[in-house]
Structure 1
């Protein structure tokens, strides 16, 4: 009787954990959104958030109608589940938990594609191919692996989706990015059209990207662990899911440190995800040693993948989706056939090549992997070709330059609250005879059009004895500069932290292995207005405080000030500079 009670309790506990795991996987959508938004430019943030929202919502609709039954319906000759509408016709007996669990996995496959095609894809096109992936492409191959299909019958093993989800999403991303073409300015070409340089497009908010990685890592414990059948197996899965990404990140950090001279932040973030992707298939059948090796290879593979796409294939992948998901999905599938061991809790049958199992499991893994690759390549290529021939895949050049937030969603900025401009529309200047030439080039305008434009009138400079001195310098020299200004009698200053570069274009920084043309370095901008001090005294004091003899010491600009007005008292000129009641 006691054993029966414990069995019921265990069943209930794992049933609840199964749904908690599904919720964690759903939460990964937020992680994908943050990573993609952080690794791309601010002008497309709203578009990216919308895509990550809609791939789950659209995926839910298509999964209800057809996807779930194709995945887990009655097996039809090992190839596909029998289509049905049990969710409507037999709801009382429907497997609600299994539906939700498989739905959140399905949505993950679609969202992977978004990152590689970011910043230049039509929103309508994205909605269409996201629906196709969720309704047909993913459910069919997932049925082969998890729904009782021919790969499951053969003994192919993919516990949580290195192959079924990540590799499929990564291959779709690779093909989509290739057909779509690179973002404007990503590659520099010579007159013959040959690519001569890869240009870096730094993400606008790496803090957001890092938050996304941490969210994904947390969600991955549900991704890999939700289907565990015992406490021991769950603990082992948590261990391998922790070790592999940690090792991958350390290996990537060391490698980029050696290769580029500094540890690459965004690449290390990608490496964490690469380790998670690689361990997803074998997480339940490998041990700690296997997880370490799998993670180490993943950390190197993600760097190689980014380099391969940029410098060999010349495919623009803004977030590294192909390197993370496609390449490490393949690696995780193969690694299962290498590192499976019966010492892992719950695994009594699968043994990989490196643990004395021979080539049997590895052969099954390779056959299954190539079969899924073939299915994905054919179906997603047809999907993209149809979309491209009908509604089109890519936005126009003007829309891409302006940003998809504005063109696709009518959103002036995803960061409107941080803008000093009024983006509500109340400050928009309407075109009239004084603001519009009617043509984009001034030289092409007629004399009437040129005469209608507002004339630029230059006033003769006045020597008022008041000057504004603007100093751009290194942040590290600010304290010395401040003391020097105080010493010569400067009583007020405005200090701003800015970014900029001189004629040397910064110091040759790299982003994801590609050199950034004009590196904007952090500087301090100090502005002082003087009227009762010799300007040469202030300039010389600043020069002495900032001089090191090295490039980047800064510059000093001196302007004549025509008039000064103190708003509170109405005092003008030299009197306005005095802060006396």
Structure 2
């Protein structure tokens, strides 16, 4: 007899955990550069698609196909009898999809750490290996009745089984792969490489936080009794508390350490707190969850700095620290803070020792197997893309994608000239009707008779409207406006990104170009200074150039006449 409520609960959890793929995709895309956006999205998609197929072919059987100490069994296409391990009232298909999305989560963690320099084909082969063998074997030890489960090792939703497995694989892959070009200077000092879209990264974190309620809460795989409903409510509370406290602690920690609260590190802390609580979310109190979150909030930024500056692992999104470090730490803290059996609650050291053995054994298994996979890839088809491909971006070379943001940048230099029929609203040469040029009386002033000057004004974005009004007031009605990034010779204020000092802090500015003749340059400069002056650093600069000539394309007019309206 199937239970409707239990089956719905498991399927809802499967849907939420699947949606975590969107969270990982957004988070990783936002914390990397725009020229690799399409590539990172494809890797997240293929993690799930490849992982789904091979987990069905091999992985599920290895994980749940028997009660052996090391592996479950070999059951291609999931055709065996799994009644002994199925949750009460839950059909095999529901349990299978629930476990599939967990497997895909472990696989997708790696893509962020190896972002921006990994061959796409090599990454797909990695995904082909972790889902059917590496993850299921250690997963069987913990969840399939293997030797760790028999010892009493506890990992409720996967701090070790899922997240530490993915985090260690990410660290090994990133180390073998090597850092991105420009990440370290000639002295080995790390350089900040900023992600291109913090908003997308933040959206990914919020999606993951939301989905984690399914990741942890629905791992009860039942909702048919008062006790399990009470447990599910407690899991939701501990999950949320750990993430929230981790964010607050990291915000304060980075504020004290760097002088300002680090935005990207604080968002990473939310994930670190979620990963850390996942092992013991069912065994610790809300107070215990806050302690775990606080530990994650301190350990996370220190781990990011350690891997970045000491181990020299270039991890653009912090996956090794978030999933590897916080996953193992949370599993160990469960042995200390579990209300029933934890060392701090009078349970003695045996449970904590079991947690240590479990973390260590899974770490050794993943280190050994994933190292073999990546080294074989490195010495056969190659793991890393060429330097030119990395500089240009993987989107164009791996996928033929000029830009993931085609409407926000000129693509002609990358894709060649746009064909006439491809341009919106364009017509053929035969259909084209020339614009009628209305003759007007020329001024009689030639280009050599008048002084033409170009004034370039670089200013803060917030002062642009004031500047525009000032220019109109003195008769300057033509201008070219460009959004730019820049700093003066002082290289901008010292700022930090993920604990790394930025050697040149490029700030968003507006560049306004005007060419004048009738309006005196001194008048333009005076008006600009009045409009922009605040007395603070960053008010802007004004550059003045001599202009040899100006030609209006439509009419052919030159010099003074080319600047006049129709």
Summarize deviations over 1:550-569 as a string: whole Å, max 9, x none: 543322122326225385x8
Of 17, 27, 32, which residue of structure 1 is paired with 2:24? 32
Q: 1:298 to 1:380 in 2, by over 3 A?
A: same
- Deviation, 1:268, is 0.8
- Deviation, 1:543, is 3.0
Partner of residue 422, structure 1: 412
Partner of residue 44, structure 1: 36
* Mapped partners of 2:385, 2:9: distance in 1: 43
Partner of residue 80, structure 1: 71
Q: Is the 8 A contact 2:57 2:77 kept in 1?
A: no
TM-score, normalised relative to structure 2: 0.88
Partner of residue 145, structure 2: 148
- Tell me the SS of whatever aligns to 1:183: coil
* Mapped partners of 1:412, 1:485: distance in 2: 38
Q: Is the 8 A contact 1:412 1:423 kept in 2?
A: no
* Mapped partners of 1:563, 1:86: distance in 2: 73
Q: 1:61 to 1:41 in 2, by over 3 A?
A: same
Of 461, 477, 484, which residue of structure 2 is paired with 1:475? 461
Of 242, 265, 268, which residue of structure 1 is paired with 2:266? 268
Partner of residue 8, structure 2: 16
* Mapped partners of 2:138, 2:121: distance in 1: 25
Taking only aligned residues, the RMSD between alpha carbons, in angstroms, comes to: 2.5
- Tell me the SS of whatever aligns to 1:490: coil
- Report which stretch shifted further, 532-541 or 62-71: 532-541
* Mapped partners of 2:562, 2:106: distance in 1: 64
* Mapped partners of 2:331, 2:292: distance in 1: 11
Q: Is the 8 A contact 1:31 1:215 kept in 2?
A: yes
Summarize deviations over 1:482-516 as a string: whole Å, max 9, x none: 45434534344444443211222221221111122
* Mapped partners of 1:108, 1:49: distance in 2: 14
- 1:558 aligned to 2:547? no
Q: Is the 8 A contact 1:34 1:212 kept in 2?
A: yes
TM-score, normalised relative to structure 1: 0.85
- Deviation, 1:154, is 1.2
- 1:201 aligned to 2:201? no
* Mapped partners of 1:463, 1:365: distance in 2: 87
- Deviation, 1:91, is 11
**Alignment length (residue pairs):** 526
Of 398, 403, 412, which residue of structure 2 is paired with 1:413? 403
* Mapped partners of 1:401, 1:16: distance in 2: 48
- 1:387 aligned to 2:377? yes
Query: How do 1:57-456 and structure 2 match up within 5 A?
Result: 57-76=49-68, 78-85=69-76, 87-88=78-79, 95-190=92-187, 195=188, 197-228=189-220, 229=222, 230-341=228-339, 350-422=340-412, 425-427=415-417
Q: Which runs of 5+ in 1 are unaligned?
A: 1-7, 342-349, 430-460
Q: Which runs of 5+ in 2 are unaligned?
A: 223-227, 420-446
- Tell me the SS of whatever aligns to 2:219: coil
Partner of residue 474, structure 2: 488
Summarize deviations over 1:33-75 as a string: whole Å, max 9, x none: 1111111111111111111111111111211111000000012
Partner of residue 425, structure 2: none
* Mapped partners of 2:386, 2:478: distance in 1: 50
